[in-house]
Structure 1
Amino acid sequence: MPKQLLTTYTLHDLNLRNRVVLAPMTRGRAGKNRLPNAIMAEYYVQRASAGLLITEGTTISAQANGWNESPGIYTDDMESRWRPITDAVHAKGGTIFMQLWHCGRASHSNFHGGEPAVAPSAIAINGDYIHTPTGKEVYETPRALETDELPGIVEDYRRAAERAKQTGFDGVEIHSANGYLLDEFLQSKTNRRTDRYGGSIENRYRLLGEVVAAISTV
């Protein structure tokens, strides 16, 4: 192991004890109500010697859900349940970021009371199946988001970051890869929009840019 990996690192105003980072890995241990709990606290505390921990993907709204029993950060109860986790990590000298997540079309109507998942365009995932609350299901065609819905999603990200800050997180990571909502806007094969959020690279980036700008105000 290179010695430099174990040296300290300054990330903006954070002093990390080393340069090892725990990547976000979905555990699915938050239960049906998506509430952080003692098992999750134990998991992160066991890894607190890393310079930086990034949590599993944490959904910013009910609309954002698409993974069984992943945690959320969109209700007061969810927010308060994260506090023992951040406190426990900090007590071990650790630094922890929350990964903010919207599954977009990588979801299913079973997560949304029968309503379809949402996406930039009505294009289904070309895959075998998705695990849902009622078992394996084939991917469905999502509903294309209306232009006037997008400011609400940006606000969901901003509010999630605000909740994360209030509950003791040292920062957030915006999940914008791996075929989830923000990545779906970035990719031309999943974004066929004709409004100002589709077409050119600049337009396809627009939603992510607005999310970054909104979170930066927190």
Structure 2
Amino acid sequence: MKLLDVGKIVAAQGLKGELRVYPESDFPERFLQPGVRWLQLPNTSHPQQFELLSGRSIPGKKLYIIKLAGIEDIHQAEALRGAKFLVDAGDRPSLKADEYHVADLVGLEVIIQSTGEAIGRVTEIYTAGNDLLEVTLNTQPQTVLENAPLEDTLKANPEILSEVATGSRKKKKKRSPKTAPSIFIPFVAEIVPVVDIKAGRIEIIPPPGLLEVNLADS
């Protein structure tokens, strides 16, 4: 059975064994509906099965509080800090037409629609206002829309480019010179009009300046 990583235990909640979970899934039912779950502790290779008894969200925060069977006090809860929160990959919630599972997006080839140039592959998805696709490049793209001042680009695309241009995107990674460069693509229909899971590709229409901003900041 394949397991899917959908969150992380970040702390104990109170004294009675409840746990705080940071979600890496857009499906609340992963943390709210009772049923079988798995935890994989740091530096271990075999997940442990647990029964999720209950869950609730914390208003105003991207956190859930869960109660697992057999975890009765703060000491047991603290021992699970840092564990990955896993679900059966085959137990997938229903999706709307414009929704995708993260696991299906990672690995897709990224194509510039106007030229057909393959520039890289999706390696991660981050949430920062709009979702961002991290794309690890094959090489530095040859097809780049030039001669568009950065300030004009930002005026034309304030919502789409704000996270990229201001550096507010989450989990920015430091890279050694030998590491392949990455760019960040806002996952919105205007920029990513085509997602073809079966063909293993997405097509992008980068607005003026987007690729240059990313490459200059990588």
TM-score normalized by the length of structure 1: 0.24
Higher share in helix: 1
Higher share in strand: 2
